Chains A and B, each alone.
Chain A
């Protein structure tokens, strides 16, 4: 089953994506990498989380601008809008954070069928639409957009398989992505919270020690929640994956993405 590349990844946008993802990843994982005496050492100031809250929207804007710099055609924009609408509507049905899971499955399927570039943009727009619909725009939104974008991108980069094996692969990936999404999103606000010294982040502590603290924090606060998300995403993909993949691929064929338009005199 060939994958249509609706948002092609060229050298330029690829470099932009890699650089922005590297900085964005640091925006999540910085608590593990701060060296003692560095400017972000929070024993001097607690500014580090705010700094990354300011940078992340810019990063998301650059990557999205670069990915679409060639100009998306109307078919791609319409498909992007409609799939985001489905994701957003699903979010509106489910209360609060719980509604993210079904839209997650959709981002994975979209990235799978229409390619990794499309998956990246779809993840970002789905989260953005959901936030606008639920009225929940906040500093967490760029982080959610980046993470969901990575989920869509990686779904498009999975090895090619067919039939039931593909659905099984996607479901397994959905479970992993559901867990990883929660883990990464938690790191974002981990430095903000200091419930108890045993689970809080200590600047400059060895990587292993901070990882241990984070693991404790994660298990005590949100493992149950994220396990639920992983199970729901994987379950939705297992139950409806085959039919949804078929529907999306048929729509892709009907739209005939990537067919050169030639005018004849």
Chain B
């Protein structure tokens, strides 16, 4: 068995697997407003992030997303309490001073605030917050920058531009700090004018570098396209445009109440498939290979599959027992949808199924060096 198939062999998991896993959890959260499975999803993401996140800068984004999620819940509850005097329940918590807004808007500020309205707002906010937290876990675990390596060939140039931008952005921040320090040493104060004095040298430096970089890329043969590209290009265009037409018709069919059945979802799916094929064919023209591609081995299948299990069990529960996922009354004790809960617990398996991170870059290089010696 090759080492990358073992969950114990330390390496970076393919970021795509983490994103699929998080997508599964987010899809599961989108089906329910029951706080039990929602809080469980949050707990599972926290567990996996704690177990498998690295120490790269983007790994900190989970905390930022958690804050955003909390903000969503708080905003939702506050707005519900302040704005919706019309949709309150019978259990009155307290009464705020009321401020009617003139005009026929029907909006009232303040008034009675009931337990039902606050709880309903909390559950709805919790659903959105859970989706946000799942996305945050994906950001923390699977680096989107690493995912850029798997960008389809048709988007090669755009991908290169983004890689250039990511490489030079930290330098530009350094540039900006240096310029600002120079200003301060000269005793120039801040203000609107200082913005111009700051951005001009930074931009000039960036433009200068871009011209140099282009010359360097040209001299290294960037932009060579394969000869087989011409017919593939035409085919890609045909597929993309037909696919786009299909998407347009599909969206129209879904939005209008009178269209035939075939105009809705079938057309949309066909259009999406055709345009995906177009993007795939469009990638032929570059004819390039990837240096040390990220492997997609057993741990990747396991991680992505565990997210899928969570989504599927939730969708099955939504079909079989919808009452356990959307509460009829917000004040009732939330039931425990057993199947969905088991599915979400399966999504916690990446804590052991995902390979541990290589401890440090230095250690990794020495160990690969030893392996190569052994292989030789």
Contact = CB atoms under 8 A, between A and B. Distances in A.
Interface of A: 12, 15-16, 19-20, 22-23, 26-27, 30, 33-41, 48, 50-51, 55, 58-59, 61-62, 64-66, 68-69, 71-89, 92-93, 102, 121, 124-125, 128-129, 131-139, 192-199, 216, 220, 235-236, 239-240, 243-244, 247-248, 250-251, 254-255
A125 B237 CA distance: 22
Contact of A89 (B169, B247, B259, B265): B169
Contact of A74 (B84, B128, B218): B218
Given A61-B152, A62-B240, A77 B157 contact: yes
A102 B241 CA distance: 35
Interface stretch (B89-97, B276-284, B345-353, B358-366): B276-284
Nearest to A106: B203
B5 interface: no
B279 A62 contact: yes
Given A69-B282, A85-B206, A220-B83, A93 B176 contact: yes
Contacts of B50: none
Q: Which 6 A-B pairs have the closest CB atoms?
A: A81-B164, A135-B61, A196-B84, A37-B257, A84-B165, A35-B257
A58 B169 contact: no
12 contacts: A19-B245, A38-B254, A38-B255, A40-B255, A62-B275, A88-B166, A125-B165, A129-B162, A135-B64, A138-B139, A240-B195, A251-B207
Contact of B272 (A38, A58, A78): A58
Contacts of B7: none
Nearest to A88: B169
A99 B312 CA distance: 39
A77 B217 contact: yes
Given A20-B244, A38-B254, A135 B168 contact: no
B206 A86 contact: yes
Interface in B48-95: 57-58, 60-61, 64, 76, 79-80, 83-84, 86-87
B165 A247 contact: no
A87 B165 CA distance: 9
A132 B145 contact: yes
B213 A78 contact: yes
A7 B107 CA distance: 49
A92 B155 CA distance: 25
Interface string B116-141: 00000100100010011001001110
A136 B139 CA distance: 7
A216 B168 CA distance: 42
B105 interface: yes
Given A65-B278, A75-B210, 7 more contacts: A23-B244, A65-B282, A73-B214, A82-B213, A83-B210, A138-B135, A194-B124
A40 B256 CA distance: 8
A12 B268 CA distance: 21
B162 A128 contact: yes
By secondary structure, the B interface counts as helix
Contacts, number: 280
A255 B192 contact: no
A121 B158 contact: yes
Nearest to A49: B30
Contacts of B168: 81-82, 85
Contacts of B57: 135
A102 B258 CA distance: 45
Interface in B143-191: 144-145, 152, 154-155, 157-158, 160-170, 172-173, 176
B253 interface: yes
Nearest to B253: A39
A13 B168 CA distance: 30
B11 interface: no
A82 B165 contact: yes
B199 interface: yes
Given A248-B207, A255-B214, A198 B83 contact: yes
Contacts of A239: 192-193, 195-196
B144 A68 contact: no
Contacts of B251: 23, 26-27, 30, 55
Contact of B223 (A73, A135, A137, A247): A73
Contacts of A38: 254-257, 259
A195 to B, nearest CB: 4
A103 B199 CA distance: 11
B311 to A, nearest CB: 12
Contacts of A80: 158, 161, 164-165
A81 B176 contact: no
Contact of A59 (B167, B172, B247, B255): B247
